[in-house]
């Protein structure tokens, strides 16, 4: 009879996500993962198999925790203007020095890993749909095509904002920029 797992898989994946997010995929080695996940080598291999598999599971965990939280906040926003709803995405968080895990995955891993490429595209598409939902509900007076273009531009601004945060650049007036972009000024 197999022994039950003696660790919390969610906590282990949170540890893996943090180390991959901070260091990147290529710079993370097995000892880094074992420390971050608080696992033995045997437990790691039995539960995940290899570094690539745990990376993908960590990306899924990021989707569940971070992307889903952003989408829920966008959907729940009851502010009368779109900018107020979008601004939480443009506020530096504790992860500012790590950048965006999606961006990191798109740049470092996705070019060589079709599964990661598909997953990051799915997450980006969901974020775009959340942004589009904010723009639709607040009917900023645009055609559906223009609204979709704006949602795509705001998504790209978000990814750029995250990348700039990783570089340590000071937070600029993103609220003013978004208001001007949406014609709310």
**CA atoms of 107 and 166, how far apart (whole Å):** 14
Which tens digits make up the pLDDT trace of 149-179?
999 999 999 898 887 777 766 567 888 989 9
For 80-124, write each residue's pLDDT tens digit: 999 999 999 887 565 556 678 999 999 999 999 999 999 999 999
Handedness of CA 135, 147, 119, 97 (dihedral sign): negative
User: Which of the 8 DSSP states describes residue 142?
Assistant: -
Give the whole-angstrom CA distance, residue 108 versus residue 180: 33
Query: What is the Cα gyration radius of the chain?
Result: 19
Domains of the chain with CATH codes: 8-68 (1.10.10.60), 79-185 (no CATH)
Q: Is this structure's pTM higher than 0.75?
A: yes
129: tokens are 């749909």
């Amino acid at each position: 009879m197999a022994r039950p797992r003696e660790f919390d898989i969610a906590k282990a994946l949170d540890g893996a996500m943090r180390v991959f997010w901070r260091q990147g995929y290529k710079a993370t080695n097995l000892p880094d993962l074992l420390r971050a996940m608080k696992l033995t080598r045997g437990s790691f291999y039995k539960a995940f198999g290899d570094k690539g598999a745990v990376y993908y599971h960590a990306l899924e965990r990021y989707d569940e925790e971070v992307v889903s939280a952003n989408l829920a906040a966008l959907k729940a926003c009851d502010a009368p203007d779109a900018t107020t709803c979008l601004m939480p995405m443009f506020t530096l968080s504790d992860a500012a020095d790590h950048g965006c895990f999606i961006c990191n995955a798109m740049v470092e891993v996705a070019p060589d890993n079709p599964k990661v490429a598909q997953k990051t595209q799915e997450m980006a598409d969901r974020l775009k749909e959340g942004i589009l939902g904010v723009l639709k509900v607040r009917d900023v007076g645009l055609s559906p095509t223009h609204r979709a273009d704006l949602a795509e531009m705001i998504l790209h601004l978000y990814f750029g904002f995250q990348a700039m945060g990783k570089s340590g650049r000071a937070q600029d007036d993103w609220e003013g920029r978004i208001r001007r972009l949406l014609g709310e000024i």
